[in-house]
Amino acid sequence: MIQFKTDEQLLLIRKAGRIVSGCHAEIAKRLRPGVTTLEIDRFVEAYMRQNGARPAQKGYKGYPYATCASTGEVVCHGFPKDVPLREGEIVTIDMVAELDGWMADSAWTYAVGQVSPELERLMNATKHALYQGIAQATAGKRIGDIGNAVQRVAESEGYSVVDAFIGHGIGRSMHEEPQVLHKGKAGTGKKLAAGMVITIEPIFVVGKPYINIDQDGWTARTLDGSIGAQYEHTLAITDGEAFILTS
């Protein structure tokens, strides 16, 4: 069942979202060759706790870290590692902050130093798809409109959408209804209504979209070794433009 949020509840989620966005802004300053994703993870946990929030991913179904940190062929849910990042890599940092019982979720892909034009193009296309999806997230539209907008960007740019992972509702729980697919037919699926809070979080890869989960039960990597990028915001559905809660 979809949990509709009041204006007061949206402001509480927005407070959690500000912590997430502030944390991402600090990560952007810190990510450079030689830094490890484990160092970033420790920073994120400290930042959240200093701001009165809890890193909601830590302990969720046994997940041991405050962030997911994904590099190379790992497209999401990668464990932070004590391995220095290399010039030219891209890395996705995903986090969820819980503040006063309300959660906000955002993932961002970062360039480590100077990256190749091919990786920069992948990042730009995935980010563009996120915002194209957000543009469709208004009351009266449907989930399929979001997925179709994302899919059209992927197809026009020659990328695949990893459809094994989807967006979702969020609020007091990390994963609520509805499910938000990143592929779809316009005009289909659940109708969006004011008061819904969802995430949109497309993953694009340069090769095939098929993935395998490592023995740790979390790390998702492409079968063909393709590199991926992911961008995610938490947003509130309104009668006008979507209100991005993690900007």
- Count other C-beta atoms under 10 Å from residue 61's C-beta: 8
The band of 154, judged by pLDDT with boundaries at 50, 70 and 90, is: very high
Sequence-ordered strand ranges (E) for the chain: 54-55, 67-71, 74-76, 90-99, 102-111, 160-161, 167-169, 176-180, 197-200, 203-205, 211-213, 220-222, 228-230, 233-236, 243-244
The pTM of the full predicted model, rounded to 2 decimals, is 0.97
Torsion of the alpha carbons at 34, 107, 69 and 101, rounded to the nearest 10 = 120
pLDDT of 176: 98
- Count other C-beta atoms under 10 Å from residue 182's C-beta: 26
In whole angstroms, give the CA distance from residue 235 to residue 247: 9
Mean pLDDT of the chain: 98
Report the DSSP pairing between strands 233-236 and 197-200: antiparallel
- Output phi, psi for 66, to 5 deg: -80, -20
pLDDT of 35: 98
In whole angstroms, give the CA distance from residue 168 to residue 149: 17
The token duo for 113 is 């130093």
In whole angstroms, give the CA distance from residue 96 to residue 94: 7
Q: Which of 238, 237, 220, 16 is nearest to 105 (CA)?
A: 16
pLDDT of 103: 98
Question: What is the arrangement of strands in the sheet containing 228-230, beginning at the earlier edge strand?
Answer: 160-161, 203-205, 228-230
pLDDT tens digits, 222-239:
999 999 999 999 999 999
pLDDT of 158: 98
pLDDT of 106: 98
The band of 165, judged by pLDDT with boundaries at 50, 70 and 90, is: very high
pLDDT tens digits, 65-120:
999 999 999 999 999 999 999 999 999 999 999 999 999 999 999 999 999 999 99
pLDDT of 75: 98
In whole angstroms, give the CA distance from residue 203 to residue 154: 10
Task: Please give the average per-residue pLDDT across 146-155, as a whole number.
Answer: 98
